[in-house]
Amino acid sequence: MMSKLSVFFVGMAMLAIFACSKDNDLNFFTVSQDIAFGEQLDSAVLASPDEYPVLSRTAYPAVYTYLETMMNNILASEEIMYRDEFNWKITVINSDVVNAFAAPGGYLYIYTGLLKYLDNGAQVAGVMGHEIAHTDRRHSTEAMTKEYGFSVLLSIIMGNEATQLEQILSSLALNGTILAFSRKNENEADRYAVFYTADSELYNPLGVGGFFQKMLAEQNTAGTGIPEFLSTHPSDENRIENISATWNELKSNEPALNSVAWNDLVTQHVQIKSTLP
Ligand SMILES: [Zn+2]
């Protein structure tokens, strides 16, 4: 039986855990556990070149500079909660799969197939902002706790659950995400992607809806080639309307945002695409 003192300490530890979370959602992970779990997943991804062939940083520096600049511009948004705490890092997977995903703790993965699929930098920033939101709002650990249970995830962090980690990784490869997020978290990720891109004043926030619109159009022209991203990110008119509504509301409150232009987002993106293997 637990002594009164240990009950007290467990209680204090729980309080500390909840107090650690900057958002109001209940998440049993601490922020440093998010980071530790992300590190584990990232090294497992890097150790599985068959499933995750990483595009060489030294052979394709321009691609990485393009995406890292974009990531840093998005992370400059005042809406980001864990800019300094998380290990923000982007890895390009050299595969024609049309997908992107994020691990806890700031690890982002984008496929060359998605880069080739998208038309301009605003759409890329839209996807990236969406994935950054899943990580920064800590949706991944919240959802994984529901799916696998806290104790399994905790032992993975401790390095005691190699098999479970592998299982999570293959589901990640299969579904393009660690698991499907709730609709609530999907909407939140869309909304924050609009906030981040608006804050940057570089990437037109309509790009957030732009990539869903493109996917929706593709979905409607029946046939092959429906992007993997769609299986975990159902696109419908509703989703696109919500994104436009968030942007319209922002714009009407802050008139300066009306000048967010497309700049050279198309030219730059097309140029980067032409260098991809
Ligand atoms: Zn999502």
Query: Considering the domain boundaries, does residue 242 fall inside one?
Result: yes
For ligand 1, the distance from its centroid to the CA atom of residue 13, given in whole angstroms, is: 31
For ligand 1, the distance from its centroid to the CA atom of residue 8, given in whole angstroms, is: 38
Instruction: Give, as residue ranges, everything with CB less than 5 Å from ion ligand 1.
Output: 189
Query: Considering the domain boundaries, does residue 19 fall inside one?
Result: no
Query: Considering the domain boundaries, does residue 29 fall inside one?
Result: yes
Query: Considering the domain boundaries, does residue 16 fall inside one?
Result: no
Alpha-carbon distance 86 to 74, whole Å?
14
CB 144 within 8 A of CB 129: no
| Tally of CB atoms within 10 A around 166 | 12
The strand pair at 107-111 and 89-93 is best described as parallel
For ligand 1, the distance from its centroid to the CA atom of residue 11, given in whole angstroms, is: 34
Domain span at 222: 25-275
Query: Considering the domain boundaries, does residue 9 fall inside one?
Result: no
For ligand 1, the distance from its centroid to the CA atom of residue 3, given in whole angstroms, is: 44
For residue 126, how many C-alpha atoms fall within 13 Å in the half-sphere facing its CB?
26
Number of domains observed in the structure of the chain: 1
Query: Considering the domain boundaries, does residue 15 fall inside one?
Result: no
CB 198 within 8 A of CB 209: no
Alpha-carbon distance 152 to 228, whole Å?
27
Query: Considering the domain boundaries, does residue 99 fall inside one?
Result: yes
Q: Collect all residues with Cβ–Cβ distance below 8 Å to 178 and sequence separation of at least 6.
A: 41, 101, 103, 140, 143, 144, 168, 171, 172
Query: Considering the domain boundaries, does residue 190 fall inside one?
Result: yes
Exposure string for 184-215, b = 16+ CB within 10 A, e = fewer: ebbbbbbbbbbbbbbbbebbbbbbbbbbbbbb
For ligand 1, the distance from its centroid to the CA atom of residue 109, given in whole angstroms, is: 13
For ligand 1, the distance from its centroid to the CA atom of residue 213, given in whole angstroms, is: 15
Alpha-carbon distance 51 to 251, whole Å?
42
For ligand 1, the distance from its centroid to the CA atom of residue 189, given in whole angstroms, is: 6
pLDDT in tens, the chain (277 residues): 444 444 444 444 444 344 345 555 556 778 888 898 889 889 888 988 988 999 999 999 999 999 999 999 999 999 999 999 999 999 999 999 888 888 889 999 999 999 999 999 999 999 999 999 999 999 877 877 777 777 777 777 777 777 777 777 666 555 555 456 788 888 999 999 999 999 988 888 888 988 888 877 776 665 545 566 766 676 677 888 899 999 888 888 777 676 666 667 888 999 999 999 9
